[in-house]
Chain A
Amino acid sequence: MANNIFYDIYIIMKKDLTEFMRIRARLVTMILLPIILIVLFGYMFPSTGSITHISIAVVNQDQSQAGLNIVSQFISSAQSSGLFNVISMGSLSSAQNQLVSGNVYAIIIFHQGLGQQLRSSGTATVQVIIDQANPSLDAAIQGELTQIFSSLRLSATLASASSSQVTPIYQGLIPQTSNTIEFLAPGLIAMTTILAGLSGLAMTFSREKELGTLDGLLMTPISRLSIILGKGFAQVVRGLASGVLVFILAMILFGVHIYGSIWLMALVLTLGILAFTGMGIIATSFVSDQESAQLIMMMIQFPMIFLSGALYPVIQLPSWLRIISDILPLTYVISAFRSVMLLNAPFSAISGDVYILLIFTLVVFAIALPLFQRTVTK
């Protein structure tokens, strides 16, 4: 009759999920909440805030004197506008890596022979690749870049008499044109699944305490760890299920697509849910009644919803709020999740976010386990 911890975890998880499926009110909330959110946000455009110091990459493939002059004039003009922070990149591929990782929002490519072409015909084009993940930001960047290009005084630079004009040609990283909901969908999926985890696990514990069944679990010869992990994984399964639900809705209603790996997305979400279930245990172990627990959850949830970049880009926030946003774990989940889903980011591009989440989850559980132990046996 030796107990196997994985089996115990599975049994607890299955029991929690069966209970969950049978309590109609909870099941309905799980289905309704995503529908309400996706409909609300799907038809609502995020407002374009004032953009400042957005990082863009410049790749110069035209090393002729004329080419160098054009590029340096563009850079100084873009920098002095205060809108952009221009980074010169040696190659297109390294610039693309930066774009996928979210370090720059656009790449401007000055083709070989650009100076030559301008001098001979008076017009030329530069290619601009834009991170389409956020349409409002996308539009703002396009508008500003077009203006900067049209204001360049190229005739002086090229020492030509006729007026010369460089036109930017915009192109997305994803071939299709994006819409607002494409930006919102990953944030909504991540947010609904993960925030449910925050209160979910703590709530099943207080429910079992009230029912009296927690004592029943504690009196069986299984470890405390398998109880907490079994319940934690039940939340993960539930969270992933509601994530799939939001995605299907977004797909049917708004034509949202997944461009990246589903497994990477699931990995990011699983880590996020586990981290948040642990946070929920910590938050509730300091209060004795369920009402205060709910209040604490609200206090954690609300700022996170607005500062994590789920609903509008973090880059639109003032810098002091951006610092807070950088501390919030939901920010990492959402940025990694969005990069994978929309930009097909490979693991290497989101590994930083994943490691931060992993460490965060481990630390949270290292704190939550003894707290849980203390609360149940005190």
Chain B
Amino acid sequence: MSIVTENLTKTFNGLVAVNGVSLKVTKGTIFGLLGPNGAGKSTFLRMICTVLRPTSGHGSIEGFDIVNDTNEVRKTIGVVQEKLLLYPTLTAIENLEFFGRLYGIRGKPLREKAEALIEEVKLTSVKDRPVGTYSTGMRQRINLVRALIHDPKVIILDEPTNGLDPQSVRWVRDYVKRLKERNLTVLVTTHDMHEAEELMDELAIMDRGGVLAVGRTADLKRSQDVATIEDLFLKLTGRELRDEVSSRLKRRGW
């Protein structure tokens, strides 16, 4: 197992954001956390990324405890959050080198690694421009490879396709599949059932801080006797996955 959590819980001043989540993620697979806005996905990820301290429960990544072995965990994981982990005034190469140095990589190996990653996402021609001047899609590409600067074994992505144009969404999903081919473990959240359907080997369905169902995507649908993930969510919660407002906005072209 690459990621294990037991009863992981986080409360903010009485509000239970994550409620006793126990998960096991197999090495070299893509594991999805599917849930509506406010389900607690980001809070769960921030706990296993050692940014937030759990209120109770345990977790480990590649055998390292998320509370006691924070430095080992930090070296093991590469994280893509909802917000970009990039400084807009710094260039692509400066951003990658800055983070690389904080992971203890230096000099020529660092420069070569940074340039190779930038080349991989086809941004070499703009590598000396501040990333604030990039298009949203370009920024997300740099943001993705930034998480790989220190060769992590586990990649954690929080809604990586949110707010992107269809072409960039396609690109990000293909990239996530390529990460799996490199035998990396991928944990990714989404509130998009198509994404869940397409990408995930295994899926945990989250709502209101808790996990409602876990399993291989096909098994989950079969066990609940539904055709799509959206139906599955409806059956488990009695609600639509996408909340009313966002689907109405989407219909109007937002």
Contacts and interface: CB of A to CB of B under 8 A. Distances in A.
Interface of A: 1-3, 7-8, 11-12, 15, 18-19, 22-23, 211-213, 215-222, 376-378
Interface in B1-56: 12, 46, 49-53
A211 B79 contact: no
Given A15-B90, A211-B87, A216-B79, 9 more contacts: A7-B101, A22-B130, A212-B81, A212-B82, A215-B79, A215-B83, A216-B81, A218-B50, A378-B52
Interface string B59-91: 000000000001100110101011111111110
A219 B94 contact: no
Given A219-B50, A377-B51, A11 B98 contact: yes
Q: Is the interface of B mostly helix, strand, loop or mixed?
A: loop
A218 B83 contact: no
Given A212-B85, A215-B46, A377-B52, A19 B90 contact: yes
Q: Is the interface of A mostly helix, strand, loop or mixed?
A: helix
B214 to A, nearest CB: 25
Contacts of B77: 219
Interface of B: 12, 46, 49-53, 70-71, 74-75, 77, 79, 81-90, 94, 98-99, 101-105, 130
Nearest to A10: B101
A220 B103 contact: yes
Contacts of B53: 377-378
A211 B103 contact: no
B102 A8 contact: yes
Contacts of B71: 221
A277 to B, nearest CB: 20
Given A215-B46, A377-B53, A221 B85 contact: no
B89 A18 contact: yes
A27 to B, nearest CB: 11
Contact of A220 (B12, B52, B86, B99): B99
Contacts of A211: 83-84, 87-88
A34 B81 CA distance: 40
B234 to A, nearest CB: 32
B105 A1 contact: yes
A220 B72 CA distance: 10
A264 to B, nearest CB: 34
Given A2-B104, A15-B98, A219 B89 contact: no
B218 to A, nearest CB: 33
Give the top 7 A-B pairs by smallest Cβ distance, nearest first: A212-B83, A216-B85, A1-B104, A220-B102, A22-B89, A221-B71, A221-B74
A308 B53 CA distance: 42
A20 to B, nearest CB: 9
A23 B51 contact: no
Contacts of A377: 51-53
B51 A219 contact: yes
Contacts of B84: 211-213
